[in-house]
Chains A and B, each alone.
Chain A
Amino acid sequence: MNQPNPAPEQAGSPLESRYRRLLRAYPGAYQADRGDEIVGTYLDTIEPGRRWPSPHDALDLLGAGLRERLRGYGALGLAAAFPLAATAALNTLIAVATFLLLQVEFEDPRFARLDPVGPVQTLGAVIWLGWLLVGLTATALPGSWTRTAAAGGLLLTVAVPPVAALIGQPGPPLFVLLPAAALGLATLALPSHPGWVARSLPLLTAGCITAASVAFSAAENGGNMFTSYSSTPELLAMAGGLMFTLVLLVGLGRALRADDTGLWATLLLATPAGLFGADQLSQAIWGTSGGGPTPAAFATTTGSILLAGAALLAAALAGQAARHRTVRRRVLDEACPTCGHRPEVTAEA
C-alpha cells in the first residue's frame, strides 16, 4: 500500500525549508542520511495549502531529534526518564498544593498581616487549585488531556504573580513559585498512557496530605505553626529532599534490573529539589535580613542551583557518552574467534 504523493507542489517550497530548519534538532550525520527522507514524508502527509509546520509536527521532530542525539550518547534512558520524572513532579506539586491551601491560604489572613483576597490569603490559591485540577485530570482523563492541563497549570504558575502585582494583590513568594514552575515544566512530559499506579497516585497523595494536615492541626490544638508562606521554607526544603530521595530509591531499585531510567529521572529532578531549599540555603550561606535572605543572596543561590543542576546533567551525559564510545570501540575491535570477522564500522549517529 505505497500511495502516490498527494502534494507534489510542496517540494522546494518555504514549508519544506521550515521543516528542514526543524531537522537541526537531529545530529549532523543523521540529518545528512535521513533528512530528505523525513522531510519528504512530512510533505507527503500534510494537507494542501499548509504554510507552516503544525505545533505537533514541530514537537514530534524536536523530540525525535533529541532522542536521536541521546541514542548517539548511549543515553536513551534519559528520554525514557521524562515520564517518570513528570509523574513524580506532578505528585510533589499536588502534595505542596494541598498543604499550602489547607495550612496557609485558608488560614486567618491576620496571621500573615495581609489584605486577604476573598477567602484566601493570596492569589497563589489559584495556582494550587489549578494543580489539584491537573491531578484530577491525571486520574480520570487520557494522558494527552493531562499534558494540556499541565501546560495550563504551568501557565497559571508563571502568570499569576505578575497579574497579582499588576492588580495590587498579594501573591506567593518566589521561594515557592520557582520550584513549582520547575516541577510544572517537568509535568509537560507526563506519559500518554499512564498505568494504574500513575493514575492512583494524585488522589492518594492529596488524601494523605489532607489527612496529615488535619492531624497536624488537631495535634497543635489551635496553635499556629504554619500560618503564612514565611513559615514554610523548612517544610518545603524537606518536601524537595523527600521527592529526591523517593525517586532515587525507585532509580536504585530499577538499576538492579539493569534499567537506568530512574537514575536519570533523579538527575532531572535534582534542580527542582534544590530550588525547594534555595531559601534555607541562602540564609545558611549569606545570613538573614528581616527574617529571610536578601533578594541578591536568593538570586545568587538560585542561579547557582540552576547552574549546578545543568552541570550535573551535562557531566552525566558526557560520562555516559564516553562509556558508550569505549564499549562501541571494544566491540568493533573484537574479531570473531571462529572466523576472524570484524563488525563493519558504521557512521556514528
Chain B
Amino acid sequence: MATPTPLREPTFLILTALARESMHGYGIISDVAALSGGRLALRPGTLYGALDRLTDEGLVERDHEEVVEGRLRRYYRLTETGRSVLTAETERLRRNVEAASQRLRARPAGTPAGGTSPGPLTLPGATARPILRPTGGPA
C-alpha cells in the first residue's frame, strides 16, 4: 500500500520517535508528546491503529516483546522503507523551511513587520484616491 505524502504530522512524529531505537506503545506516546512540545497527545486506540496502518505499509515492524510487572510490552522499530520515507519527508520539510527562511531574511530593511503588502491599488497620477480599499464601506 502506498504511503500518502506529505506525511500527516502524527505519522511523521511516530516515525521520528522510532528513528533512534525500538519503542513500546507508552514510549511512543511519551516521545511524540515531547517532540511536539506537548501539543499532540496520542491515545492508545489511535496509536495502535496508526501502527497497524504503518505496518501494512511496510514502514514499521514488530521488534520484540517483554512482560514488565504483568503487562505485555511489544516493541516496534522502523523498517528500511520507513527510514527512507522519513528521510525523504525530513528533506522535503527542510527545503521548505530553508526557502521560507531565505524569503524572511530577504525582507528589505525598513519594511513594516506587519507585511510587505504594496497597499491599495492606485491609478498613476491619482495617488490620493485608492481604487481598491482594504475594508468595506462607502467610497
Chain A residues with a Cβ under 8 A of chain B? 1-3, 5, 8, 11-12, 34, 36-38, 40-45, 56-57, 60-61, 63-65, 67-68, 71
Contact = CB atoms under 8 A, between A and B. Distances in A.
B58 interface: no
Nearest to B24: A2
State the majority secondary structure of interface residues on B. Answer: helix
Contacts of A1: 17, 23, 27, 30-31, 34
A345 to B, nearest CB: 16
Given A2-B27, A41-B24, A64-B45, 17 more contacts: A1-B23, A1-B34, A2-B21, A3-B27, A3-B30, A11-B70, A34-B48, A37-B25, A37-B72, A38-B25, A41-B25, A60-B43, A60-B45, A61-B44, A63-B45, A64-B48, A68-B52
8 closest residue pairs by CB, A with B: A64-B45, A40-B71, A41-B25, A60-B45, A2-B27, A60-B43, A44-B26, A36-B72
B52 A71 contact: yes
Contacts of B74: 37
B108 interface: no
B43 A40 contact: no
State the majority secondary structure of interface residues on A. Answer: helix
A68 B23 contact: no
5 contacts: A36-B72, A37-B25, A38-B48, A40-B73, A42-B44
A170 B73 CA distance: 59
Contacts of B34: 1
A5 B71 contact: yes
Interface in B1-45: 17, 21, 23-27, 29-31, 34, 43-45
B12 to A, nearest CB: 14
B68 A5 contact: yes
A71 B53 CA distance: 10
Interface residues of B, number: 27
A42 B25 CA distance: 9
A45 B44 contact: yes
B101 interface: no
Given A2-B23, A45-B26, A11 B45 contact: no
B44 A60 contact: yes
Given A11-B70, A36-B72, A57 B43 contact: yes
Contact of A56 (B25, B43, B72): B43
Nearest to B72: A36
A306 B114 CA distance: 55
Contacts of B26: 2-3, 5, 40-41, 44-45
Contacts of A65: 45
B42 to A, nearest CB: 9
A61 B44 CA distance: 8
B4 to A, nearest CB: 11
A11 B69 contact: yes
Contacts of A11: 69-71
B46 interface: yes
A8 B73 CA distance: 13
| Residue among B17, B44, B52 facing the most chain A CB atoms (10 A cut-off) | B44
A34 B72 CA distance: 9
B47 interface: yes
B17 to A, nearest CB: 8
Contacts of B31: 1
B43 to A, nearest CB: 4
A60 B29 CA distance: 14
